Amino acid sequence: MKWSAEIVTHRGEKRIAVRFPKDFKLVTRIKKLPNVRWSKTMQCWHLPYNEANVKRFAIVEYPLIKAEVNKLEKWLRSRRYSQSTISSYTKSLYVFLCFYKEKPVVEITNDDVTLFVNEYILKKGLSTSYQNQTITAIKWYFDIIQDKKIQVATLDRPKVEKKLPNVLSKTDIKNLLEVHSNIKHRAMLSLMYSCGLRRSELLNLKKADIDSKRNIIRIIQSKGKKDRIVPLSPKILILLQEYYTKYKPKTFLFEGEKAGERYSASSLAAVLKQAAYKINLQKPVTLHWLRHSYATHLLEAGTDLRYIQELLGHTSSRTTEIYTHVSTKNLQNIKSPFDDL
């Protein structure tokens, strides 16, 4: 039975991804390993990157390739890309260069990129966004680091998948936000929905970012290195004050077990998963669904699309317009011809 293991960066953390065909015995065995988790996005099990797991799965690292990848990493840092972006692109380049570890870098051509797409990306069923990300990383590496032109324009990039955002009803949202008895858990989920925050935006919030006198929140250097302000509901402000009185965080608004350290992304995801389980929500809800629901509910309430774009921090209005396709306000007024039969 074929299986594979590779080093990946998942949610900013270095992990070892393990893939194998569905088999009850193998699943049972891997579940027994410490801190193992299933990733729906990567469609694999993943474990901590440590010496024990490297040996367990016979991971081979290539120092010369890592040195080349580090060159791209330094260039990306000099351009002030975010850590998550740097991790994504350097990981993609590492996988590509490892695929051609027996071939000198200077001999790699467009045909090799096409072969990699077919023999690695497509065979593993990886996403179109990963494919585009990898092609961009390869282009940067050869253009900037190797000063050798890979003709990316002549490569066939995949068509971008047009997926509608997942939206919950107001009833489901209300149940999700109220089911937790822990006030910190309620406050985190409620703030995400009430302000349409991304996960990273919530976790990076500090007490000083909450302006209770003006009823606003300042989102500092978010995606695209942009600042923005969003209105703060008086109702959520009361909840935050109650939370702050009880927990008294030192640095970040929401902290983990250690004072001064931000709450972890995986723990926040678990909070939502527990809430969904408690209300028996039969949907694979994620934290980003709260942001999608916020935008859609604003649109259905008559808020101008331009304001929603500003509140979400979208650079292009085309990004915000996707919510017009999931709003049911106008659809409900359409009468089916079936009713006239």
pLDDT of residue 61: 72
Q: Containing domain of residue 52, as a range? A: 4-56
pLDDT of residue 341: 61
pLDDT of residue 282: 86
At 10, phi and psi to the nearest 5? -120, 115
Domain contains 159: no
Q: Does the model's pTM come out above 0.85? A: no
Do 67 and 52 fall within a single domain? no
Q: pLDDT band at 158, cuts 50/70/90?
A: low
The catalytic position among 46, 291, 292, 297 is 291
Domain contains 72: yes
pLDDT at 258 over 90: no
**29 is an active site residue:** no
**291 is an active site residue:** yes
The catalytic position among 15, 180, 198, 292 is 198
pLDDT in tens, 82-113: 877 888 899 889 889 988 888 888 888 888 98
**277 is an active site residue:** no
Q: pLDDT band at 146, cuts 50/70/90?
A: confident
Do 48 and 70 fall within a single domain? no
Higher pLDDT, 14 or 33: 33
Domain contains 341: no
Domain at 135, CATH number:
1.10.150.130
- Highest averaged pLDDT of the listed ranges 40-49, 154-163, 188-197: 188-197
Do 114 and 211 fall within a single domain? no
Give dist(CA 305, CA 296) in Å, integer: 10
**40 is an active site residue:** no
Do 40 and 95 fall within a single domain? no
Give dist(CA 90, CA 280) in Å, integer: 40
* C-alpha 141, offset from chain centre: 24
pLDDT at 157 over 90: no
Do 174 and 310 fall within a single domain? yes
Domain contains 303: yes
**141 is an active site residue:** no
Domain at 301, CATH number:
1.10.443.10
| Interval 133-152 mean pLDDT | 81
Do 174 and 320 fall within a single domain? yes
Q: pLDDT band at 261, cuts 50/70/90?
A: confident
| Interval 222-238 mean pLDDT | 86
Domain contains 191: yes
The catalytic position among 148, 288, 325, 329 is 288
Do 197 and 240 fall within a single domain? yes
Task: For residue 142, give Cα distances in angstroms to 99, 103, 131, 138.
Answer: 16, 15, 17, 6
Domain contains 165: no
Do 215 and 316 fall within a single domain? yes
Give dist(CA 71, CA 127) in Å, integer: 26
Do 316 and 239 fall within a single domain? yes
Do 199 and 136 fall within a single domain? no
Give dist(CA 130, CA 80) in Å, integer: 21
